[in-house]
């Protein structure tokens, strides 16, 4: 275990410093007093664990910048190293000053690397959940609707946000952003990484920047580029409080599988010299790349595990964070030789049992894969963990691009994915999504057959080729009114499918206003109009539709609670009103399917043909009083209004036929009157 206060902790009168540097012969704390000026103080090995170097009364006060210089075992004291436990960070890597050989060990790196900053613990953050950040919404899983967003992309071009705040935490808590989220009806905002990260050299050489933030360097510190004012702690806390006061949970995407120091040729900024063994999973000490980012943290290393848990507790206690989504969570489950096993992972179990984290009601979400052997772990993360549901994404995309047969796959996902997520787990175990930051936006999914990533500078090598998309007959922008209409219908159909499904739906920020990335499906380095939400060009009809679809789900969800429905409470019917039996699920190319739950009926027609669909009988005990079905969402109308232009009949009795146009979803509630 680490000392009680790893990092630099100010207690109101003194600063205690502790940093892990196993195998070092000397560790020196450096206070940055100005360009070329430092105050240096030697640290001593901790009496209980000599891997830790400490000073109980270091010459640091809040606002001071600092770093470490280490010697021994091949390390160079010319490198100023960032504290992995830093609570705040100043600056970024200045690649122009670093030059091509700045980290070789014979150049003082202090002028061109980020520095740790000492900050005081905010009042109320005493280890409990976010004192001073508002009342925790604690939205039940079955009532949760997630909105995935990037702090910068969401706010950088919003005309209602003051220019000096755009792209920052201050903008995230601005009334203009809050109003949009509240009117949309989502309940949780899942933010792409907000902990301090670096912009790799190769991006700087191409004149690009790291937009997504998946190159972490200080997991406890807010990214300085997202801070508008002088006090990062206060700014983040104010944003979280504003979101909480609006009834919104705040989730963070966290990256503990690798660091921004990349591989052997990457910069030496922190762990590489402080604690090289934290990277090394292999007997020969080579970098292992299970992440696609040229290095992999060893979750078996107790110092890595302590940092992971400490960082999570810090964000929950200081900032009131309500949930964490773990990037490439399979990597954290690689504890023993062979394939990873989340159910046997000490680190995942520790996170789940922690009184501030899993046992304290903080939501835990796994991206259930990585790039290593056996890295596809869908359905294997035990409660209370939830998972991103890639099966839902693939099935929904296949259905709405015309793939056949598709009914069995889409029905499984609409029902919550019991077959691939596990009947022994809660029915809200899957985070269902059609699009996310990684891949096409919704608008691009229906407008492109292939990726268009040339502007990324990788000659089209980056980004997946498995998009499961369909352009409707024309690649990219078009003036053909029939193609435009069909694409709009499929966008609405995909959103309606997502919001009619069992489980926890997640929207990609910007999909609700028609955001396009011009066919780029890997826009991690596009910090500009390609990735920023175009508020001025927002699709008003699509936004109205998204609001209506979310409201339909929240006002009368098809399933409540965490238990799987009994067979009599969930039935499936074809267009002619016939119950769909097992052989037909996989043999028929007819994609039309009706999902019927007590007082809830959703019919999907993901095809190019208009169909007449027979209204099904009610099911379950609550359905006995149903006399007619009343439409609450009709994707044939541009804004989803069942009484609007293009919509079909608003009411239909069980056994009667109802027209359902091509590429349409209609959702009904059962009424006790005709």
Q: Of 66, 101, 117, which closes a domain?
A: 117
- Residue 593 inside a domain? The answer is yes
* 159 and 88 fall within a common domain: no
For residue range 69-101, list pLDDT tens digits in order: 999 989 999 999 999 999 999 999 999 999 988
CATH of residue 604's domain is 2.60.40.1180
Mean pLDDT value across residues 565-578: 91
In the prediction, which pLDDT does 558 show?
66
> In this model, does residue 128 exceed pLDDT 70?
no
> In this model, does residue 2 exceed pLDDT 70?
no
* 53 and 148 fall within a common domain: no
CB atoms within 10 A of CB 465: 8
Mean pLDDT value across residues 41-62: 96
Range scoring the smallest mean pLDDT among 219-223, 260-264, 620-624, 635-639: 620-624
> In this model, does residue 570 exceed pLDDT 60?
yes
Q: Of 363, 384, 405, which closes a domain?
A: 384
* Nearest by Cα to 492 from 666, 611, 670: 666
| Average pLDDT score, the chain | 94
In the prediction, which pLDDT does 278 show?
83
* 228 and 360 fall within a common domain: yes
* 173 and 269 fall within a common domain: yes
In the prediction, which pLDDT does 554 show?
87
For residue range 464-475, list pLDDT tens digits in order: 999 999 999 999
In the prediction, which pLDDT does 238 show?
98
| Token pair 């379950």: residue | 620
* 111 and 172 fall within a common domain: no
Mean pLDDT value across residues 428-445: 98
- Residue 67 inside a domain? The answer is yes
Name the DSSP letter for residue 288.
-
* Nearest by Cα to 174 from 184, 185, 190, 161: 161
In the prediction, which pLDDT does 355 show?
96
- Residue 123 inside a domain? The answer is no
Count Cα atoms within 13 angstroms, Cβ side, for 514: 18
In the prediction, which pLDDT does 100 show?
87
* 265 and 376 fall within a common domain: yes
* 232 and 295 fall within a common domain: yes
Mean pLDDT value across residues 558-579: 89
In the prediction, which pLDDT does 673 show?
73
In the prediction, which pLDDT does 624 show?
64
- Residue 508 inside a domain? The answer is no
pLDDT band at residue 621 using 50, 70 and 90 as cut-offs: low
> In this model, does residue 622 exceed pLDDT 70?
no
Range scoring the smallest mean pLDDT among 150-164, 607-621, 655-669: 607-621
Torsion of CA 605, 607, 608, 609, to 10 degrees: -50
For residue range 318-368, list pLDDT tens digits in order: 999 999 999 999 999 998 777 899 999 999 999 999 999 999 999 999 999
Top mean pLDDT of 297-301, 507-511, 556-560 is at 507-511
- Residue 127 inside a domain? The answer is no
Mean pLDDT value across residues 658-664: 98
CATH of residue 221's domain is 3.20.20.80
* 241 and 374 fall within a common domain: yes
3-state secondary structure of 597: strand
Q: Of 369, 384, 399, which closes a domain?
A: 384
3-state secondary structure of 322: coil
Mean pLDDT value across residues 415-440: 96
392-395: long-range pairs with CB below 8 Å, 24+: 392/417, 392/430, 392/432, 392/433, 392/434, 392/498, 392/501, 392/503, 393/432, 393/433, 393/434, 393/435, 393/436, 394/468
CATH of residue 112's domain is 2.60.40.10
> In this model, does residue 27 exceed pLDDT 80?
yes
In the prediction, which pLDDT does 105 show?
82
In the prediction, which pLDDT does 640 show?
98
* 168 and 52 fall within a common domain: no
> In this model, does residue 662 exceed pLDDT 80?
yes
In the prediction, which pLDDT does 557 show?
65
Please give the tally of structural domains in the chain.
3
In the prediction, which pLDDT does 277 show?
83
For residue range 394-410, list pLDDT tens digits in order: 999 999 999 998 899 99
Catalytic residues: 327, 367
The residue segments making up the domain with residue 584 are 567-671
* 172 and 275 fall within a common domain: yes
* Nearest by Cα to 310 from 278, 354, 343: 354
For residue range 222-273, list pLDDT tens digits in order: 999 999 999 999 999 999 999 999 999 999 999 999 999 998 889 999 999 9
- Residue 63 inside a domain? The answer is yes
DSSP E strand boundaries for 412-462: 430-433
- Residue 324 inside a domain? The answer is yes
CB 323 within 8 Å of CB 188: yes
- Residue 498 inside a domain? The answer is no
In the prediction, which pLDDT does 411 show?
94
* 353 and 242 fall within a common domain: yes
* 291 and 171 fall within a common domain: yes
Alpha helices in 185-287 (DSSP H): 201-205, 232-245, 271-274
């Amino acid at each position: 275990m680490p000392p009680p206060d790893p990092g630099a902790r100010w207690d109101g009168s003194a600063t205690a410093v502790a940093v892990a540097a196993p195998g070092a012969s000397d560790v020196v704390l450096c206070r940055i007093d100005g360009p070329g000026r430092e105050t240096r103080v030697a640290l001593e090995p901790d009496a209980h664990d000599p891997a830790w170097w400490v000073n109980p009364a270091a010459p640091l006060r809040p606002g001071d910048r600092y770093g470490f210089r280490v010697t021994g075992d091949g390390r160079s004291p010319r490198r100023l190293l960032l504290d992995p436990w830093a609570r705040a960070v100043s600056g970024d890597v200045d690649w122009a000053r670093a030059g091509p050989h700045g980290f070789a060990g014979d150049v003082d790196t202090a002028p061109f690397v980020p520095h740790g900053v000492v900050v005081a613990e905010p009042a109320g953050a005493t280890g409990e959940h976010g004192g001073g950040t508002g009342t925790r919404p604690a939205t039940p899983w079955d009532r949760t609707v997630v909105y995935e967003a990037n702090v910068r992309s969401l706010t950088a071009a919003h005309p209602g946000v003051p220019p000096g705040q755009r792209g920052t935490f201050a903008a995230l808590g601005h009334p203009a952003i809050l109003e949009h989220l509240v009117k949309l009806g989502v309940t949780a905002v899942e933010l792409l990484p907000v902990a301090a990260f670096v912009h790799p050299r190769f991006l700087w050489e191409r004149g690009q920047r790291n937009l997504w933030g998946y190159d972490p360097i200080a997991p406890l510190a807010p990214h300085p580029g997202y801070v508008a004012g002088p006090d990062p702690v206060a700014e983040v806390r104010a944003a979280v409080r504003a979101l909480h006061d609006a009834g919104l949970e705040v989730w963070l995407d966290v990256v503990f599988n690798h660091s921004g120091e990349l591989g052997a040729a990457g910069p030496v900024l922190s762990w590489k010299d402080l604690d090289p063994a934290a990277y090394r999973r292999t007997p020969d000490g080579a970098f292992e790349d299970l992440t696609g980012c040229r290095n992999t943290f060893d979750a078996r290393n107790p110092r890595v595990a302590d940092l992971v848990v400490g960082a999570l507790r810090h964000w929950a206690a200081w900032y009131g964070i309500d949930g964490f989504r773990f990037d490439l969570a399979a990597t954290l489950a690689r504890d023993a030789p062979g394939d990873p096993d989340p159910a046997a992972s000490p680190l995942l179990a520790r996170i789940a049992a922690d009184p501030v984290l899993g046992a304290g009601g903080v939501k835990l979400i796994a991206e259930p894969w990585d790039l290593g052997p056996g890295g596809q772990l869908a359905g294997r993360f035990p409660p209370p963990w939830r998972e991103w549901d890639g099966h839902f994404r693939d099935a929904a995309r296949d259905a709405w691009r015309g793939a056949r047969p598709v009914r069995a796959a889409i029905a499984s996902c609409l029902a919550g994915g019991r077959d691939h997520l596990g009947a022994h787990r809660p029915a809200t175990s899957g985070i269902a999504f059609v699009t996310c930051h990684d891949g096409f936006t919704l608008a691009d999914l229906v407008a492109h057959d292939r990726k268009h990533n040339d502007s990324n500078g990788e000659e089209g090598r980056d980004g997946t080729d498995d998009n499961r998309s369909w352009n409707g007959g024309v690649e990219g922008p078009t003036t053909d009114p029939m193609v435009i209409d069909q694409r709009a219908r499929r966008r609405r159909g995909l959103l309606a499918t997502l919001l009619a499904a069992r489980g926890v739906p997640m929207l990609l920020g910007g999909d609700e206003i028609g955001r396009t990335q011009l066919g780029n499906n890997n826009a991690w380095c596009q910090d500009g109009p390609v990735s920023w939400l175009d508020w001025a060009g927002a699709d008003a009809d699509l936004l109205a539709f998204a609001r209506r679809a979310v409201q339909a789900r929240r006002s009368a969800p098809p399933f409540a609670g965490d238990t799987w429905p009994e067979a009599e409470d969930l039935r499936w019917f074809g267009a002619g009103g016939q119950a769909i039996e097992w052989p037909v699920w996989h043999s028929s190319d007819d994609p039309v399917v009706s999902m019927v739950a007590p007082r809830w009926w959703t019919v999907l027609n993901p095809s190019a043909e208009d169909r007449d669909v027979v209204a099904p009988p009610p099911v379950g005990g609550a359905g006995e009083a149903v006399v007619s079905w009343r439409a609450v969402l009709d994707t044939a109308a541009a804004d989803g209004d069942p009484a609007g232009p293009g919509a079909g009949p608003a009411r239909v009795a069980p056994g009667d036929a109802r027209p359902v146009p091509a590429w349409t979803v209609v959702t009904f509630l059962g009424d006790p009157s005709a």
